[in-house]
Amino acid sequence: MIDGINNQNSQVDAASGSNRFGPAVFNTTSIELVFAQLQMELSKDNKELAREKINQIKADQDVQKKFTDYVVKLRNYTNGKKDDDNVDNPNKGLENLHAEINQFLTSNGFDGISLTTKVKDINLAIQSLQNMQETVGSSVQQEMLLIQDMMSKVSSYSQGAASAVNKAGDTLTAILR
């Protein structure tokens, strides 16, 4: 959707003689063209914000995937075991995984988790990771709503700019008659 609006932006830029709102605006005598340039600047700003949000969503989705990977790894330790059982910890694999999980959590702004070789503790850790993953998922949903709003604004501003350019053209045509 962002790229589809680029064509509209190019047409308005060509008609208005500038692609950025700035000192060049004051060289024009048409209020419609000034308005078009303002609309295009607002459109570009919203498009850039939407791109930033999209990049944030991609990063958040990578974090969600990592949560899923850790949950799967922890579940592999508990398969077929009861809450009171201890899990096998060959080569201190669970301890290494615990350290890796906590480093991941702290680097992403979450508190670390405690973990022992008890299945009950591992299940609690899994639940904590799933809750953290849901928090990230909620953030992604909110970011998507913001992107929809920004893209709606981009479209609206682009249409407003195109309309203003058309009005300026109509005014010039009327003057030339």
Q: Which residues of 72-100 are buried (b: 16+ CB within 10 A; e: fewer)?
A: eebeebbeebeeeeebeeeeeebeebbee
- Predicted TM-score (pTM) of this structure: 0.68
Expressed as residue numbers, the domain containing 18 is: 2-176
Three-state DSSP at 144 gives helix
Query: What is the count of structural domains for the chain?
Result: 1
Residue 1 and residue 151 in contact, taking contact as beta carbons nearer than 8 Å: yes
Confidence (pLDDT) at 160: 86
Question: How far apart (Å, rounded) are the C-alpha atoms in residues 100 and 113?
Answer: 11
Residue 44 and residue 9 in contact, taking contact as beta carbons nearer than 8 Å: yes
Confidence (pLDDT) at 3: 52
If one compares 33 and 20, the residue with the highest pLDDT of the two is 33
The pLDDT confidence band at residue 14, using thresholds 50, 70 and 90, is: very low
Residue pLDDT, tens place only, 112-153: 999 999 999 999 999 999 999 999 999 999 999 999 999 999
Question: How far apart (Å, rounded) are the C-alpha atoms in residues 102 and 105?
Answer: 5
